[in-house]
Amino acid sequence: MDERNVSSMAESNQIGQIQIADEVIAIIAGLAATEVEGIAGMAGSFTGGIAEILGKKNLSKGVKVEVGESEVSIDLFLVVKFGVKIPEVALAVQKKVKNAVETMTGLSVIEINLHITGVHFDKNKADNTNQEAEFFE
């Protein structure tokens, strides 16, 4: 594994050392966020979008993590569904991500910053046509 992708979080025990890669934490956070009702998806970079088109889905897209010795700070870049109450959805995302990361990694989540970068609405519901949904970022 590439050393620069491994977080500084390392825990020693009687058997050996445990290291959790930053990308693992990002994947946990991203998956937890997308499970919340009202989240249309994660916002990523242009290159991330190309990777998905080519069939290489990046599960940590739209997530930035900073890991300390025993704590983590997370930034999520989200696209919400049109019509949701953003503050309510955002709070639900923060709670779900905090719980998932702390439960799975044992790290303490000190902050989760959300960046709402787009709105998704389903044109089928808007005008009863069979056109594709649109994103606005």
Domains defined for the chain, CATH in brackets? 3-136 (3.30.70.1350)
pLDDT at 43: 85
Quick one: pLDDT at residue 59? Answer: 76
Predicted pLDDT at 9: 56
**Residue 133 burial (C-beta neighbours within 10 Å; 0-12, 13-18, 19+):** middle
> Average pLDDT over the chain, rounded to whole?
81
User: Which region among 13-22, 53-62, 67-76, 87-96 has the lowest average model confidence (pLDDT)?
Assistant: 53-62
pTM: 0.76
How far is the C-alpha of 91 from the C-alpha of 66, rounded, in Å?
Answer: 20
| Of the listed ranges 17-21, 38-42, 109-113, the one predicted with least confidence | 17-21
